[in-house]
Structure 1
Amino acid sequence: MKKNVLIIGAGGVGHVVAHKCAQHNQKLGAIHLASRSLAKCQQIIDSIHARGSLQGPGILEAHALDALDIEATRALIRSTGAQIVINVGASFVNMSVLRACIDTGVAYLDTAIHEEPEKICETPPWYANYEWQYRDECAAKGVTAVLGIGFDPGVVNAYAALAQQRWFDRVDSLDIIDVNAGSHGRYFATNFNPEINFREFTGQAWTWQNGQWVSNQMFEVRRTDDLPVVGTQSTYLTGHDEIHSLSQTLKIPTIRFWMGFGEHYINVFTVLKSLGLLSEQPVKLDSGQEVVPLQLVKAVLPDPASLAPDYAGKTCIGTLLEGEKDGKPREVFLYNICDHAETFAEIGSQAISYTAGVPAVAAALLIADGTWDVGHMANVEELPPLPLLTLQAGMGLPTRVKEGSHDVALEEAPEIRA
């Protein structure tokens, strides 16, 4: 049993994680929130008190931290007595925070693969470039490290594992589909950290097709689906974190990721990229000062957390599997619908942050009670999927299963395999 949580990161996802931890503080214990900006941490804590999110009396404290400073992170883990660290800072800090967790013997969770600021879309598989280098050490020291436990990556990985176990004898293809059918009313904005958001789409789109890595350009390949609730939506093939673990763990020949984009987003993105404003490489101004164009664009765009009050509409994120069962072709779609207005009413968040943050807290609860406290490093698809999906359903993210005209809640879906 583990208790006391340190949350690193005070952005939109950090806001969700802190609120959801507060709603379960009787099981999770003391809650500490750390970021370079102490003020942002305090704002989140103030909002928790204002909305009455605390389940019961307990410790809720803010701390200033540069998470790239491994020694400072180790010291904060020790001083707070945290046994679970939820890293929802920028993905640039993953390796530093993971190192601090291994050194102090505490559980580690994150929601995305590590990135280096000067590198974009490295040679796959990305996990092997970074976090997986610590697998042996985590196992040797008995440290639980759960990688990529947001929604995508995260819940979609659990969907893939559950479906493969329960409804298929053989899976031929796995397509993750992510559509935000909501509107925030701004001329242009990103739903999470703009720097991280743009980096996903400015390089090669690596996907796993017919048992090998294939590279495409962003917006080169498009598909259209009639999705539950949000209707007919066009999505584009892109690279994404979960492909880099699922391709190695589930042994499915074709694994792709599709994300929805409106024409306006594509047009603005294309102009920014064509002008060089999405470059991660520094440029020198006439004054002699150096700036990174991508960081400048991030600075002038709206803070994703500020979008929440005006957001309307829903998201649809799911995993579509095609294969065979009992000699017959089969297609199953596991998915979640999340409403922007409902998440704002509950905790003051928009749905994109909500879908990323809730699973991380569900995972922390599973580590706290021992279910997922496995004592080694694991991606989500390597862990029992049902405890996660069952727990998060009661936390605001229920799962549905669609096969043909049948569309039911996960708990009502037929049991195919014990």
Structure 2
Amino acid sequence: MKKNVLVIGAGGVAQVTAHKCAQNNDVLGDIHIASRTVSKCRDIIASIHEKKSMKVDGVLEAHALDALDVEATKALIARTGAQIVINLGSAFVNMSVLQACIETGAAYIDTAIHEDPLKICENPPWYGNYEWKRREACAAAGVTAILGAGFDPGVVNAYAALLVRDWMDETDSLDIIDVNAGSHGKWFATNFDPEINFREFTGQVWSWQNRQWTSNQMFEIRKEWDLPVVGASTTYMTGHDEIHSLSKNLDVPNIRFWMGFGDHYINVFTVLKNLGLLSEQPVRTAEGVEVAPLKVVKAVLPDPSSLAKDYTGKTCIGVLAKGRKDGKDAEALIYQISDHKEAFEEVGSQGISYTAGVPAAAAALLIATGEWDAKTMVNVEELPAEPFINLLNRIGLPSRVKDAAGDRDLAF
């Protein structure tokens, strides 16, 4: 049984994960939080104490760490005795942290795909460009590496696997739908790291259609949905991490990702992009200062973690499968509803961070108990979905399913 957790990162998602680990520290053991800015780690620790999240007395410590430094990360893993590393830092550090885990034997969890800061929207499948190249190294070392264990990617991967296995005899399509029907009250802000957020939407939109990669432009394809709780929602087809593993691991000819956007967000995004302010390539000012425009935009926007206090409304994230069952056309939606205010009251973060952070802690718990200790590299859809869904039901993210039989709780 593995125990002692090192959380790398100190943003909104890390705060949620740290709280959930603290709520389950009777299983997970010591909890360590590391970031380049150690004061942010201490703020999370203060929040954990304020909310009385620790289930039992135990170690809860903050550390300064440059996670791009493999040797420093290895040294911190050794010093803390961490057997499970939850990487919630920037997507730029994934490969460094993964390598440190391979060399120390610690289990590895992340919630987003690796990115090269000098490249945007590389050729699919994205996992094949970086993470999957180290699958054999993980297997040789007996290291468990769970990729994309947030909500999307993560929980939706488990939903997709369940739908293909249990709800359909033959699946024609999987549509992953992510709608935030909440309001943060700011004129403009992003719900997570602005740099990563904008990079996600400035390149090509890759989808899996007719068993091949298909390219579109951002905001080119729009679709309306009538979703549980949040109602009528406008979404746009968007490139996203989970398509790049689901297309390989599930036999489904069409897999698409849809994200909700309001007109105001699209207008601001379009202006920033057309002005070149979303470029990651450095420019030189008249004063001779070299700066990446995207980093300037990130610096002037609100810190996503600051949005939590005033956030209201709900999120709806789910997967809709269409195909055939028992010779008849069939469809089913597995989904989850989260409330921003409830998330803030429990852990001090908004609902977007909550939906990403709780699954990462659940993955750590399943590794600790052995149910997900795969001793190789896997994406979530390759693991048993039932214990994951049941655990999420218990620790804050209850799932529901809507099909021909009605709308009901999903549990096993």
Q: TM-score, normalised by structure 1?
A: 0.98
Task: Indicate the residue corresponding to 2:233 in structure 1.
Answer: 233
Secondary structure at the residue paired with 2:411?
A: helix
Task: Indicate the residue corresponding to 1:416 in structure 2.
Answer: none
- Structure 1 distance, partners of 2:378, 2:251, is 16
- Structure 2 distance, partners of 1:133, 1:241, is 16
Alignment of 1:34-45 (within 5 A): 34-45=34-45
Task: Indicate the residue corresponding to 2:217 in structure 1.
Answer: 217
Q: Is the 8 A contact 2:138 2:144 kept in 1?
A: yes
Gaps of 5+ in 2: none
Alignment of 1:39-54 (within 5 A): 39-54=39-54
- Structure 1 distance, partners of 2:110, 2:71, is 19
Secondary structure at the residue paired with 1:40?
A: helix
- Structure 1 distance, partners of 2:132, 2:350, is 32
- Structure 2 distance, partners of 1:353, 1:251, is 31
How many residue pairs are counted as aligned between the two chains? 412
Gaps of 5+ in 1: 413-418
1:33-52 deviation line (CA, Å, top 9, x unaligned): 00000000000001111110
Alignment of 1:124-139 (within 5 A): 124-139=124-139
- Structure 1 distance, partners of 2:140, 2:357, is 29
1:366 aligns with 2:349: no
- Structure 2 distance, partners of 1:347, 1:248, is 36
Alignment of 1:82-101 (within 5 A): 82-101=82-101
Secondary structure at the residue paired with 1:183?
A: coil
Q: C-alpha displacement at 1:404, in angstroms?
A: 4.3
Secondary structure at the residue paired with 1:89?
A: coil
Task: Indicate the residue corresponding to 1:169 in structure 2.
Answer: 169
Alignment of 1:58-77 (within 5 A): 58-77=58-77
Task: Indicate the residue corresponding to 2:339 in structure 1.
Answer: 339
- Structure 1 distance, partners of 2:153, 2:120, is 18
Task: Indicate the residue corresponding to 1:254 in structure 2.
Answer: 254
- Structure 1 distance, partners of 2:167, 2:319, is 13
1:325-374 deviation line (CA, Å, top 9, x unaligned): 11111100000000001101111110000000000000100000000001
Alignment of 1:10-409 (within 5 A): 10-404=10-404, 406-409=406-409
1:35-81 deviation line (CA, Å, top 9, x unaligned): 00000000000111111010010000000000000000000000000
Q: Which moved more, 1:231-240 or 1:161-170?
A: 161-170
| Counterpart residue type for residue 10 of structure 1 | A
1:274-329 deviation line (CA, Å, top 9, x unaligned): 10000010001111111011011001000001000100000000000001111111
| Counterpart residue type for residue 322 of structure 1 | K
- Structure 2 distance, partners of 1:51, 1:316, is 26
- Structure 2 distance, partners of 1:411, 1:291, is 50
- Structure 1 distance, partners of 2:254, 2:163, is 15
Cα distance change of structure 1 residues 405 and 386 upon mapping to structure 2, 3 Å threshold: closer
- Structure 2 distance, partners of 1:284, 1:121, is 24
- Structure 2 distance, partners of 1:341, 1:405, is 31
Secondary structure at the residue paired with 1:152?
A: coil
Secondary structure at the residue paired with 2:13?
A: helix
Secondary structure at the residue paired with 1:109?
A: strand
Runs of 4+ that moved beyond 6 A: none
Secondary structure at the residue paired with 1:287?
A: coil
| Counterpart residue type for residue 356 of structure 1 | A
- Structure 2 distance, partners of 1:168, 1:405, is 14
Q: Is the 8 A contact 2:389 2:411 kept in 1?
A: no
Q: C-alpha displacement at 1:251, in angstroms?
A: 1.9
| Counterpart residue type for residue 389 of structure 1 | I
| Counterpart residue type for residue 263 of structure 1 | D
CA RMSD in angstroms, aligned pairs only: 0.7
Task: Indicate the residue corresponding to 2:7 in structure 1.
Answer: 7
Secondary structure at the residue paired with 2:201?
A: coil
Q: C-alpha displacement at 1:405, in angstroms?
A: 7.0
- Structure 2 distance, partners of 1:10, 1:31, is 13
- Structure 2 distance, partners of 1:240, 1:3, is 31
Q: Is the 8 A contact 2:16 2:357 kept in 1?
A: yes
Task: Indicate the residue corresponding to 1:415 in structure 2.
Answer: none
1:176-200 deviation line (CA, Å, top 9, x unaligned): 0000000000000000000000001
| Counterpart residue type for residue 391 of structure 2 | L
Q: Is the 8 A contact 2:362 2:392 kept in 1?
A: yes
Q: C-alpha displacement at 1:411, in angstroms?
A: 2.5
Q: Is the 8 A contact 2:206 2:216 kept in 1?
A: yes
1:145-189 deviation line (CA, Å, top 9, x unaligned): 000000000000000001111111111100000000000000000
Q: Which moved more, 1:216-225 or 1:399-408?
A: 399-408
1:364-396 deviation line (CA, Å, top 9, x unaligned): 000000000011000000000010010011111
| Counterpart residue type for residue 243 of structure 1 | I
Percent of residue pairs bearing the same amino acid type: 69
- Structure 2 distance, partners of 1:329, 1:295, is 49
- Structure 2 distance, partners of 1:386, 1:193, is 31
- Structure 2 distance, partners of 1:207, 1:76, is 39
